[in-house]
Amino acid sequence: MPKLDTVKFRSIVVPLGTGSTGIYTAPANFTSVIKLLALSNIDTSDRTFDLSYTPSGGSAQQLLDAFSVATATNIVYVFDDGKPFFMNAGDALTGVGSTASTVIAMLAVEEFFDPNR
């Protein structure tokens, strides 16, 4: 059972590369709640991104394939407070952008200490 009095809040910003880029990996002994995962296109042309989830010790599962993000300042919300995503220790999110460093992943996560994980 997670210890609700041991919670970390983190914000992470990661520019996606054209190869698999780590966005977030849930740390050992933590259960994580992704409160926000949004992707922004800072380029002047439309761009796309792929998003994958890999459970600890498992195989990558593609969640989004060539998902379009329109030109500058548009944001695509993948997970938000109304649609959170839960991850266990060692689970990972990765992404690939169609052009290096033009699609930016923004993540807000709550990490709950869980000594049983």
3-state secondary structure of 79: strand
82/72: higher pLDDT? 82
pLDDT tens for residues 25-71? Answer: 999 999 999 999 999 999 999 999 999 999 999 999 999 999 999 88
Tokens 């990558």, located at residue = 60
Residue 31, classified by CB atoms within 10 Å of its CB into exposed (0-12), middle (13-18) or buried (19+), is: buried
* Mean pLDDT of the residues in the chain: 92
15/1: higher pLDDT? 15
Kindly give, in sequence order, each residue whose CB lies less than 8 Å from that of residue 21, ignoring residues fewer than 6 positions away: 14, 15, 94, 95, 96, 97
